[in-house]
Amino acid sequence: MPMEMITGRIATNLEGLKQFTATPGEGCTRLPFTKEARGAVDYLKGIMADAGLEVWEDAAGNVFGLMKGEDPDAPCVMMGSHYDSVIKGGDFDGIAGVVCAIEAARQLKERGVVPKRNFVAVGFCDEEGMRFGTGYFGSGAMLGNRDVEYCKKFKDTDGISIYDAMKGYGLDPERIGEAKWKEGSIGSFLELHIEQGPVLDAEHVELGLVNCIVGIQRYMVTVHGRSDHAGTTPMDMRLDAVDAATKVISKIADWAREKADGTVATVGYIHTVPGGMNIVAEQVEFTVDIRSSNNDNINDITKRIRAALDYETKQMGGSYEMENKLTITPVMLSEEMLDIMEEDCKAKGYSCKRLASGAGHDSLEIGQVLPTVMLFVPSKDGRSHCQVEFTKYSDFAKASVIMTDLAEKLLTR
């Protein structure tokens, strides 16, 4: 299949999916269990069916396309990524990996591959955790790591739980357990994704072989003080939640910097209540996202945040809660599959390098228990989780061929 043809098909699909955003003209906002998610899933179902795949959606909102192998009971080869996005994000994060998994199925068919085992293309629901502060909902459910309690526990900033959001979307959260795949039914997982960082673009390397994904912990912190008049309440007589919270927040980035090993920590959301210029805030909510390839660093920063919250809220005379939204340890990806792809890149004359991923992925959840591999394509200037995110369609085409080659190898052995 000529590369121009592959590039064209990927471009058509990704251009078609751009319409499913809640913020047209301002980037991709495709939060889980919304009409934009529904639109994207229906579109994916259409192109999966066009590719000759057997299509279904599961109890968690994941969408699958199956190419049957000679032995449908043998552990399958699964390939894909997520179809949700962050708020005002780019048009490639996640969804490109779903489109390229469907593209791999097309190429396998065109090559006349007779698979010994099933090939499954997948679009996962809610990888980002943007709406509920969590992460890897669909891939976690596929592995049996999400239950009804989980769905009831986590809520978005409007107070809507995953449970209620699923119901509004037409899914029955009571059946979330049905999304679990039988133990041993998935043999390997392959994910193509944009790098979302600057390394490949800056070094003019065509493809990134991902050997490790950082661990992540996420928290929603709520600091409680007392609302009072901003003019009449003396500084030593107020319970200022903003004062206490910001004293903690201001230290978090430095604690990550201090590690000097790539550890990062981010406070990406801050909300004050009631949020008036002349009112002492009674409450501050803020998120913390900590990542490192060294899990001890994550635990250490978490411990320091707790200690600082203990101290500052005591000084203030208030209280706090620190709700864990996600804890996942770093993961090493399959050396065997990396070697296969590296050899293939060499044979095809594509430059490649091994690198770690600072972004989280469905592969982080899946790689904890299954042989998993990721292939990165360059992101222009490393920009991602913003509207300017850009990768050339021809780069996706190259990566799709390398991943199809790997899938072919796994399917025919």
Residues that bind Mn ion in the complex, under the rule CB under 5 A: 93-94
Q: How far is the CB of 327 from ligand GLV (least distance, A)?
A: 14
* CB of 115 or CB of 360, closer to ligand GLV: 360
Q: How far is the CB of 210 from Mn ion (least distance, A)?
A: 12
* CB of 359 or CB of 406, closer to ligand GLV: 359
Q: How far is the CB of 152 from ligand GLV (least distance, A)?
A: 23
Residues in the interface with ligand GLV (CB under 6 A) total: 3
SS3 356: strand
Q: How far is the CB of 152 from Mn ion (least distance, A)?
A: 25
Cis-peptide, bond into residue 274, ω within 30° of zero = yes
Strands 283-292 and 215-224: antiparallel
In the window 342-361, what residues touch ligand GLV (CB under 6 A)?
Answer: 359-360
Q: How far is the CB of 118 from ligand GLV (least distance, A)?
A: 28
Are 299 and 306 in contact by the 8 Å Cβ rule? The answer is: no
Q: How far is the CB of 194 from Mn ion (least distance, A)?
A: 8
Choose among ligand GLV, Mn ion, none what residue 360 binds, the Cβ cut-off being 5 to 8 Å by kind.
Answer: ligand GLV
Q: How far is the CB of 355 from Mn ion (least distance, A)?
A: 16
The CA distance from 317 to 282, in Å, is 12
* CB of 330 or CB of 360, closer to ligand GLV: 360
Kind and range of the H or E element at 17? helix 3-17
* CB of 84 or CB of 240, closer to ligand GLV: 84
**Beta bridge mates, 286:** 221, 270
Q: How far is the CB of 218 from Mn ion (least distance, A)?
A: 13
DSSP 55-113: EEE-TTS-EEEEE--S-TTSPEEEEEEE----TTB-SSTTHHHHHHHHHHHHHHHHTT-
The CA distance from 192 to 82, in Å, is 10
From 79, 7, 18, 78, select the one nearest 43 (Cα to Cα): 18
Are 5 and 400 in contact by the 8 Å Cβ rule? The answer is: no
The CA distance from 28 to 84, in Å, is 9
* CB of 127 or CB of 240, closer to Mn ion: 127
Are 371 and 336 in contact by the 8 Å Cβ rule? The answer is: yes
* CB of 313 or CB of 357, closer to ligand GLV: 357
From 26, 157, 44, 162, select the one nearest 99 (Cα to Cα): 44
From 301, 308, 312, select the one nearest 254 (Cα to Cα): 301
Q: How far is the CB of 385 from ligand GLV (least distance, A)?
A: 7
Identified binder of ligand GLV from the candidate list 128, 201, 285, 365, rule CB under 6 A: 128
* CB of 58 or CB of 93, closer to Mn ion: 93
* CB of 179 or CB of 364, closer to ligand GLV: 364
* CB of 27 or CB of 360, closer to ligand GLV: 360
Give the count of beta carbons closer than 10 Å to the beta carbon of residue 383. Answer: 17
Applying CB under 6 A, the residues found at the interface with ligand GLV are 128, 359-360
